[in-house]
Structure 1
Amino acid sequence: MSLRDALPDASALEHASACELVDATGNKVSFGSIIGSQKTVVVFVRHFFCGVGLIIQVEQLAAVPQAALDAAGTKIVVIGCGEHQALSHYKEATSYNGLIYANPDRKLYHALGMDKETYKVAPAGEQTPSYITRGYYANVWYSISNAILKAPSLIGKQGNPGQLGGDFIFGPGNECTLAHRMQHAQDHIEVADLMKAAGVTLLDV
C-alpha cells in the first residue's frame, strides 16, 4: 500500500485525536470528540476559496440524503485549512449544512500525513473526476469572482492555497478504515465511491 492510501497507525491516530478544530462560532473542539463512537466520513478540503470543481465536490456531499447516512450509522464532516471566519461563507457557497470545521494551524492535516503542497492538477492521462467540470482558468476566475470579490474581508483567511487534503473514514471508535491523501489538486475520491466504502447506500448523488 502506498503512503497515499496507508492507514494511520495508532500513534498517528492518538496525535490526530488531540488536534484542535474550530467551528464557525470560534469554539475549539478536539478531533477525537468529533469522530467519537460513530462511523465518520471526513473530507479534508483545500483552501476555502478553491475553484468551482471542489465546490461541486462538497455540493455532492451536501446532497447525500440524511436518511441514507442514518441507515448506515454514518455522519459526514468537512474540514478546511483556513480560518473559522470563512466557514459560513463556504457553507453558503456549497449549500453544505453539515458538520464543518477549520484547522488553520494544519496540525491535523500533518498528523494524518497530508503534508503535500502543490497547485498542480491531474497529470496527463489520468481520468478527471466528475466534480471537475471546468478548466483550470475557469476555476481561477471562479475563485476570484465568487469568493474573493464577494467576501473581500476573508482574504488571507482562506487557508494555504497549496495545501492538499484527503478523504478518510473513521470509527466507530478510534480507528481508521480508509485513507486517501490527495497527490494533486483534483485528487479527491468520488463522493459515490466514498459513500460506498462507508456502507452508505445511494440512489443518485
Structure 2
Amino acid sequence: MTALGVGEMKVFDEAGEEHTMAELCDNRKAIVVFDLAKVPQDHLGNVAVVVIGCAPHRFIAPFKKETNFPFELYSDPDRNVYKSLGLKHAHASASKSEHMRSSVVMGLLQSTWRGLKSMRMQGDVKQQGGAFVVDQKKLIFSHQDKSPDDHCPINTLLTKAGLETFF
C-alpha cells in the first residue's frame, strides 16, 4: 500500500484506535476492500480480508454483532484513504456488473446493506469503493468501482490473491 502513497494514512478500529494502512498489510497477504464483501473463510487460507468503511468507528462493533461479519473492519470517516486512492464519489447507475450475478454474495450484500441503512451506519452513501490485493505492502491488483454496482467479482479477487475460486 505504501507504493500508492497511502501507507501512513490512518483508519480506525472499533475501539477508535488508529492504524496505518501499511500496518493492515504488514507481513501478510490481504484483500483490502472499500465496500462490503464476503469471501468464504474456508477459501482464504492465510489471506486476510480487510474492509475499510466510511462510517464512524462507533458503528463497527454494532454492525459486526448485527451481521456476524467475520472479517477485519476499519473506518475512514473523513474518506482520506478513499480520496488518496482515487475512489469515486458518484451517483447511482443503472448498469450491471459481473459481480451482481452472484446470488449468494449479492444476498449477503443486500442483507448487510439493509442492516447498515436501518442502523444509519453506512457513512457517505455516494462514496464508491474498490478492492485491492496486497502482499506485504506490495500492490498486486487494484479495482476502483465506477458506480454502485461495479464491484470487482469475488472470484477475481480470490484469483489475484492466489486462491481457488468459489462460485
Matches within 5 A, 1:48-197: 58=37, 60-61=38-39, 63-65=40-42, 68-70=43-45, 73-114=46-87, 116-123=88-95, 127=98, 129=100, 130=102, 131-132=105-106, 143=114, 146-149=115-118, 151=119, 155=120, 158-172=122-136, 174-197=137-160
Return the alpha-carbon distance in structure 2 between the equivalents of residues 120 and 90 of structure 1.
Answer: 24
Any idea what the Cα deviations from partners look like across 1:159-178, whole Å, max 9, x if unmatched? 11100000101122x32110
- Aligned 8 A contact 1:122 1:128 in 2: no
Give identity over the alignment, percent: 25
**TM-score between the two structures when normalised by the length of structure 1:** 0.68
SS in 1 for 2:41: coil
SS in 2 for 1:92: helix
- Aligned 8 A contact 1:132 1:186 in 2: no
RMSD: 2.5
List gaps (5 residues or longer) in structure 1: 1-7, 46-53, 134-138
Which residue of structure 2 lines up, in the alignment, with residue 33 of structure 1? Answer: 23
Structure scoring higher RCO (CA < 8 A, sep ≥ 6) equals: 1
List gaps (5 residues or longer) in structure 2: none
TM-fit CA distance, 1:93: 4.1
TM-fit CA distance, 1:36: 0.5
Larger Rg: 1
Q: Tell me the number of residue pairs that the alignment of Structure 1 and Structure 2 aligns.
A: 160
**TM-score between the two structures when normalised by the length of structure 2:** 0.82
Return the alpha-carbon distance in structure 2 between the equivalents of residues 76 and 118 of structure 1.
Answer: 25
